[in-house]
Amino acid sequence: MSAGAAATVDAGSREHQVPRAPLHPARRGATLWFTGLPSAGKSTIAHALARELHGAGERVQVLDGDEVRPYLSAGLGYSREDRDVNVSRIGWVARMLASHGVIVLVPVIAPYAAARDAVRDDHGRLAVPFAEVHVATPLAVAERRDVKGLYARARRGELAGLTGVDDPYEVPTRAELVVDTANVDLDTAVQMSKALLSAIVERDFR
């Protein structure tokens, strides 16, 4: 039977044609991973890009770290091992969605290079497009923003293990795009990210 042909199921005296999903979706999906310090602007860029893509009729999903952690990684803490497990799980979901034609935007800190590289390699093994965006907003700027009050809590000694304060952030060396939101406005950051996405899936996004 040729790929993509309907499978025949004999149910007594009746035959049912069960259509198979195409092996390759009509539109190629991809994962764009936004890494950076807390309050660097990762989620802001990802959600703004998602709105543009959705408005253009694209299938798009944002896997925001704060939103998915309670479901994918409930019970995990913030040790290096637990952080790596969390990144691995999110990466697996992203790769699965992207392999079915979804544009997946992942604003997740992912502070350790080895975990980020593992996600990249997992995509590469299955030829699923992947690119990394380093939202390289300086610590001083991110701390001034302090969107969730995490830096203030860490400085008061109420929060331990905050990336960039008392837990390391390993600066990416393989990022396809670097965006410093202290110097680049939101619309420009979105257009830069969209251009990168176009490059890795080899089609234009209008």
pLDDT digits (tens, 9 = 90+) for 18-44: 444 444 446 899 999 999 999 999 999
Other beta carbons within 10 angstroms of residue 190's beta carbon come to 22
Bridge partner list, 105: 32, 62
Q: Is the pLDDT of residue 6 over 90?
A: no
Task: Identify whether the C-beta of residue 151 lies closer than 8 Å to the C-beta of residue 167.
Answer: no
Cα dihedral 112/162/150/132 (nearest 10): -10
Domain boundaries, the chain: 26-201
150, 35, 91, 127 alpha-carbon torsion, rounded to 10°: 180
Higher pLDDT, 52 or 15: 52
Tens-place pLDDT, residues 85-125: 999 999 999 999 999 999 999 999 999 999 999 999 999 99
Tokens of 122: 């997992």
Quick one: pLDDT band at residue 66, thresholds 50, 70, 90? confident
User: No. of H helices and E strands in the chain?
Assistant: 7, 7
At 204, list the tokens.
Answer: 């234009």
Give the pLDDT score at 20. 42
As a 3-state breakdown, the chain gives helix, strand, coil percent values, each rounded to 5, of: 40, 15, 40
- Report how far residue 27's alpha carbon sits from residue 46's, in angstroms, rounded to the nearest whole number: 20
Report the CATH number of the 26-201 domain: 3.40.50.300
Q: What is the pTM of this model?
A: 0.86
Torsions phi, psi of 153, nearest 5? -65, -40
Reduce the DSSP state of residue 149 to 3 states and report it: coil
CA distances from 122 to 89, 117, 126 (A): 11, 8, 7
